[in-house]
Amino acid sequence: MSGTEMEKKVEEEEKKGGELLFCGSTCWDVTGRRKGAVEGNLVSPTRLRPLVGVDIRFVASVSCHCVALDVEGRCYTWGRNEKGQLGHGDTIQRDRPTVVSELSKYKIIKAGSGRNHTVVVTEDGNSLAFGWNKHGQLGSGSTRNEIESSPVRCLVSQVTNTACGADFTVWLSSVEGSSILTAGLPQYGQLGHGTDNEYNSKDSSVKLVYEPQPRPRAIATLSGETIVKVACGTNHTVAVDKNGYVYTWGFGGYGRFVARFTPLLASHHSISGSKLIEW
């Protein structure tokens, strides 16, 4: 089966949806924190009672909150919510999947979740985000509001997909010459623009800070490539172009790759020229 045929098959399966099973921590108060509770953990896949009978087509989660999309385009969120990352207009924790009412007028087809923020993509190619925005990771063009507990519009168009790192966001777009855009914290070069935007907080201080990047910006070194898939770690990014070649950039510790501020063709390092067909 060719790569194109495989992708079409996956898309068809996504349209049908399926049952969501959940395992792991159920205590959102401690999830993602140093001290975790073992009591109440689900040690085997378990049906989420509120979503029994709901056909789920997509799920995104890091550690502290979850996002699920059903085949009708409804968006459900649950988990910790100190930064408004659930999108319900408040900072109240939700222990059960709850529909984001302000997204009800859209059909949501993709979503990404960061440490404290969430980004979604609509069927008509728009993107909305909510949660922590200290580093500009919501892509709204401003960091004036550090917390956005209700969905705000991201400054991107013709969006096809999105992925989130801890404090940054990546969008894929069908706009020619801008197939991949990034915004948020640039600390380890995970935005792919050739810099970490580091500077001293004061002339007399050795404390380093990083300039927020709130406006989504196309990665110049990939302007001639059509990026079709993307995934993020806490502080690094991996992308695949239409020919199946893999690019990586950001924090390279623990053998992820050679640390880079700009996209690096990974096949030159560890994939030995292979093309990635299925991801």
- CA triple 62-41-87, angle to 5 deg: 40
Mean pLDDT on 82-107: 97
CA 196 → CA 53, 85, 213, 266, distances in Å? 46, 25, 10, 20
Rama region for 128: left / alpha / beta (φ>0; ψ in -120 to 50; rest): beta
Quick: pLDDT tens for 241-270: 999 999 999 987 665 554 455 566 654 333
CA 15 → CA 10, 49, 58, distances in Å? 9, 22, 10
What CATH number does the domain located at 3-30+41-268 have? 2.130.10.30
* Residue 75 near residue 58, CB atoms below 8 Å: no
**Which residue is it, tokens 């907080």?**
201
What phi and psi values does residue 78 have, to the nearest 5 degrees?
Answer: -160, 160
Quick: pLDDT tens for 225-237: 999 999 999 999 9
Where do the structural domains in the chain lie, given as residue ranges? Answer: 3-30+41-268
Sequence-distant (≥ 6) Cβ neighbours of residue 81 within 8 angstroms:
65, 88, 90, 91, 92, 93, 94
Quick: pLDDT tens for 158-183: 999 999 999 999 999 999 888 999 99
The rounded mean pLDDT for the chain is: 87
Q: The whole model's pTM is what?
A: 0.86
Quick: pLDDT tens for 177-202: 889 999 999 999 999 999 887 878 77
